[in-house]
Amino acid sequence: MTKRTPIIAGNWKMHNTLAESATLVEALKKADNKNNAEIIVAPSYTSLAEVARLAKGSAIKVAAQDVHWEDKGAFTSAVSPVQAKDAGATHTILGHSERRSVFGDTDEILNKKVAAALRHGLTIIFCVGETLQQREANETISVIEGQLENGLKGFTAEQLKGLIIAYEPVWAIGTGKTATPDQAQEVHAAIRKFLAGKYSQEFADATRILYGGSVKDTNVDEIMAQPDVDGALVGGQALIAEKFARIINFN
C-alpha cells in the first residue's frame, strides 16, 4: 500500500482579524507535529498575505479559500489565482459546500476554477459531499462521483498530480454531527475506486483524501484510523490553537 503523508488543513472561513490571524499562526508554528503531517491553513483573503509571511520557513502552508476562474477583470469582490499566489498561497480550496450552496458554484464553474488554479500552479483541495436528503435517498456515491466527474472534466492524471480531495458530508458541516468512521471510510474508499477507474490505480493510491465535517480533537483519532482517510479539513476547531494542535497530533 502506498504510504501517504497525512494532511491536516484548517479552513478559517470568515473569521479572524489580521491580529487574530497572526496570533493563531504564531501559536501553530510552536505546535508539535509528531505525525510529520502536512499542515495547511486557509485564512480570509484579508489575512492571506500576513499569514503567508508569518508561516514562511515553517511547516505551515497557506491556502486561499477559493479563487476566480479568470486571472483579472471586472469581477467585483472576487480574487484571482494570480492574486492568491502573489499573496503567498500555495493551495486553494475549491468546491466547498458553502461555495456550492450559498454562492452558487456549479460543477461547470468549478471546472473553470480548477483550470485556473492548475494554470498558476496552485495545489487544489477539491471538496465533494452530499446533503442529508441525498444520503437518505442512498445517492451519496452517485452524487460524489458526479461532482468529481464534472468538476475535474477534461484534465489528465498528469495535470491533476498532487490533487487533494476533501469529502465533506454537507449534513455534518458545522452541525456537530460527524460521519461515523465507517461511513467516512466507505465514501473515501469509493472515491479512491472512482479515481482508479477514471485515471489509474497508481494515481488513486497517491491521491490524499481528507475528511471534513465537525472534526474535533475528541473524534480525530478514530477518523484518522481508517485506511482511506488521509487527513482532515477542520472548521471550528481550526480557530483554537490548542484544539487544532491536538488534531495535528492525532493518535
Asked if 168 is an active-site residue, the reply is yes
Q: What is the DSSP letter of 239?
A: G
Indicate left, alpha or beta for 160 from its phi (over 0: left) and psi (-120 to 50: alpha). alpha
Tell me the C-alpha to C-alpha distance, in Å, between residue 234 and each of 73, 221, 248.
32, 14, 10
Asked if 68 is an active-site residue, the reply is no
With cell 507535529, the residue in question is 33
Expressed in percent and rounded to 5, the helix, strand and coil fractions of the chain are 45, 15, 40
**195 vs 175: CA distance, rounded Å:** 29
Among residues 50, 98, 130, 168, the one annotated as catalytic is 168
Among residues 68, 91, 96, 188, the one annotated as catalytic is 96
Assigned C-alpha cell, 183: 461511513
Tell me the C-alpha to C-alpha distance, in Å, between residue 247 and each of 32, 44, 108.
11, 21, 34
Catalytic machinery residues: 96, 168
